[in-house]
Amino acid sequence: MTNDTADRTTGATERRREQHGWYFYDFACSVYSTSVLTVFLGPYLTSVAKAAADAEGFVHPLGIPIRAGSVFAYAVSISVVLAVLVMPLAGAAADRTGRKKPLLAAAAYVGATATAGMFFLDGERYLLGAFLLIVANASLSVSMVLYNAYLPQIAEPDERDTVSSRGWAFGYTSGALVLVLDLVLYSGHDSFSLSEGEAVRICLASAGLWWGAFTLVPLRRLRDRQTAPSGEGAVGSGWRQLLATLRDMRRHPLTLSFLLAYLIYNDGVQTVISQASIYGSEELDLDQTTLITAVLLVQVLAVVGALGMGRLARTHGAKRTILASLAVWTLILAAGYFLPAGAPLWFFALAGAIGLVLGGSQALSRSLFSHLVPRGKEAEYFSAYEMSDRGLSWLGPLVFGLAYQLTGSYRDAIISLVVFFALGFVLLARVPVRRAVAAAGNPVPERI
């Protein structure tokens, strides 16, 4: 074996070791997204806020009257705004110093600690719950920016799709596994000598412990790379890089048009996912066991839907397939508005429909955007895309919370989200994607 061959073999072995560690961060943190944000925290925090509410159903943080049922939605919105402020700073600090791992550890363990602290969320402590949600949700977003920044370093260009997909699969696997354990604990809480509230608090806290424990794997296997020293501070370079990327996008208005459409309809997608459990528990009178089962169904069918929509895209093109998915999302919200209370089978049917379009609409959006990025600017454009995906989905929860605040009806709140899918559909339909690909200097695929 020659020295070059030995070096390549050693490099490939080390790269695989890092990849295996990288997968486990998705395995660690996805439990927060499924168990905490999607299933348990919304209904439970709402019940805590209602316990603290006055006779008219309002709580008064800082003297501001807020309907108790809007607290969760507002907290999610605030957490995303906080993440928008912090993500460029963390990304710039990582680029400037080359020390992503300590920053990833800090973001992960702040989030995991806040999540574990939800065990103490009882009585009328809705402000504690809102604060822990804001910290945990913002920490997750910051950690994902740092986590994704490792991908170009640990995977060759021709293997990045596979590595990224495996990380995604690890996340869905852990989410489903922990939800099954949560279902056992919650549905059998009497046999464990626990109250319903205690069972929920254990499920919330255990997600934080899971997040923290499995984060040790990537922290042991990932390594930092040396970078050229820069005299620029993280604050200045972070915001300057983001503004420079946005200015450059003005030279590619069709790419910017697609990103705007994505911003809007993805905001709707993220809001439906985060607020569905509140709608199911508060408006449809469904128990927590039903909600857990529905989210498990979404987890499984999201994989099936992503593969199925990928096949449709090969035949009909990504743009048409995404547009069709947005039409289905609109129908889902309309069906949800008329869904009868106390009918779990209909709710399962709706969850199945969400699962079938969830994975595919997001996966195809990412792949379509990749064709619209000018060559040589992939990293900075996908940084802006990640900000869009993780950092700007605050308007939907705000609209949902305001709709409930003004009407007192979760049905009005859920149907208000139709505007995101309708407007996103119109904006995406107006983007001439073939011309956009050519304008970015990329070869135009036969089907797009």
Q: Which amino acid would we find at residue 104?
A: L
**Cα–Cα distance for residue pair 381/250, rounded to 1 Å:** 12
Average pLDDT over residues 120-144: 94
Q: Which residues contact 342 (CB under 8 A, 6 or more apart)?
A: 284, 285, 286
Average pLDDT over residues 161-176: 77
DSSP letter at 416? T
Average pLDDT over residues 274-290: 88
Helix (H) or strand (E) holding 59: strand 58-59
> Residues 196-208: pLDDT tens digits?
999 999 999 999 9
pLDDT in the model for residue 247: 79
- The confidence band for 309, taking pLDDT boundaries of 50, 70 and 90, is confident
3 state SS of 66: strand
Average pLDDT over residues 135-153: 87
Alpha helices in 222-287 (DSSP H): 234-249, 253-278
Side-chain-side CA neighbours of 98 within 13 Å: the count stands at 9
The more confident residue out of 84 and 140 is 140
**Cα–Cα distance for residue pair 325/446, rounded to 1 Å:** 21
pLDDT of residue 285 exceeding 80, the answer is yes
Residue 343: C-alpha distances to residues 229, 283, 338, 351 (Å): 61, 11, 11, 13
- The confidence band for 150, taking pLDDT boundaries of 50, 70 and 90, is confident
pLDDT in the model for residue 130: 96
pLDDT in the model for residue 7: 44
Average pLDDT over residues 379-398: 69
> Residues 220-235: pLDDT tens digits?
999 887 655 544 444 4
Place of tokens 């994902």: 144
Give the largest CA-CA distance in the chain: 80
pLDDT of residue 241 exceeding 50, the answer is yes
| Cβ atoms of 362 and 309 closer than 8 Å | no
Average pLDDT over residues 404-420: 93
Lowest mean pLDDT among 121-135, 198-212, 296-310: 296-310
CA 108 to chain centre: 15
pLDDT of residue 74 exceeding 80, the answer is yes
DSSP letter at 372? T
Q: Which of 18, 31, 303 is nearest to 151 (CA)?
A: 18
Average pLDDT over residues 349-375: 83
**Cα–Cα distance for residue pair 353/7, rounded to 1 Å:** 49
**Cα–Cα distance for residue pair 115/446, rounded to 1 Å:** 47
Lowest mean pLDDT among 111-125, 133-147, 334-348, 354-368: 354-368
Lowest mean pLDDT among 131-145, 219-233, 234-248: 234-248
Give, to the nearest 10 degrees, the angle between helix 318-338 and helix 253-278.
30
pLDDT of residue 346 exceeding 90, the answer is yes
**Cα–Cα distance for residue pair 77/403, rounded to 1 Å:** 14
| Cβ atoms of 130 and 42 closer than 8 Å | no
pLDDT in the model for residue 300: 82
**Cα–Cα distance for residue pair 211/109, rounded to 1 Å:** 8
The two beta strands, 58-59 and 66-67, are antiparallel
**Cα–Cα distance for residue pair 403/329, rounded to 1 Å:** 19
pLDDT of residue 379 exceeding 60, the answer is no
Mean pLDDT of the chain: 85
pLDDT of residue 104 exceeding 50, the answer is yes
pLDDT in the model for residue 153: 81
pLDDT in the model for residue 6: 43
331-344 burial string, b = 16+ CB within 10 Å, else e?
A: ebbeebbebeeeeb
pLDDT in the model for residue 334: 95
**Cα–Cα distance for residue pair 435/448, rounded to 1 Å:** 11
| Cβ atoms of 225 and 153 closer than 8 Å | yes
Side-chain-side CA neighbours of 76 within 13 Å: the count stands at 31
| Cβ atoms of 11 and 155 closer than 8 Å | no
Tell me phi and psi for residue 381, to 5 degrees: -70, -40
pLDDT of residue 133 exceeding 90, the answer is yes
- Percentage of the chain lying above the pLDDT 70 cut: 88
Average pLDDT over residues 77-97: 81
The more confident residue out of 192 and 6 is 192
Average pLDDT over residues 115-123: 95
DSSP for 158-182 reads GGHHHHHHHHHHHHHHHHHHHHHHH
Tell me phi and psi for residue 66, to 5 degrees: -130, 130
pLDDT of residue 361 exceeding 70, the answer is yes
Neighbouring CB atoms inside 10 A of 156's CB total: 11
Q: Which of 41, 84, 23 is nearest to 389 (CA)?
A: 84
Give, to the nearest 10 degrees, the angle between helix 253-278 and helix 418-429.
160
**Cα–Cα distance for residue pair 399/419, rounded to 1 Å:** 10
pLDDT in the model for residue 114: 98
Q: Which of 245, 257, 248, 251 is nearest to 433 (CA)?
A: 257
Neighbouring CB atoms inside 10 A of 117's CB total: 18
The more confident residue out of 371 and 28 is 28
pLDDT of residue 131 exceeding 60, the answer is yes
- The confidence band for 88, taking pLDDT boundaries of 50, 70 and 90, is confident
pLDDT in the model for residue 173: 84
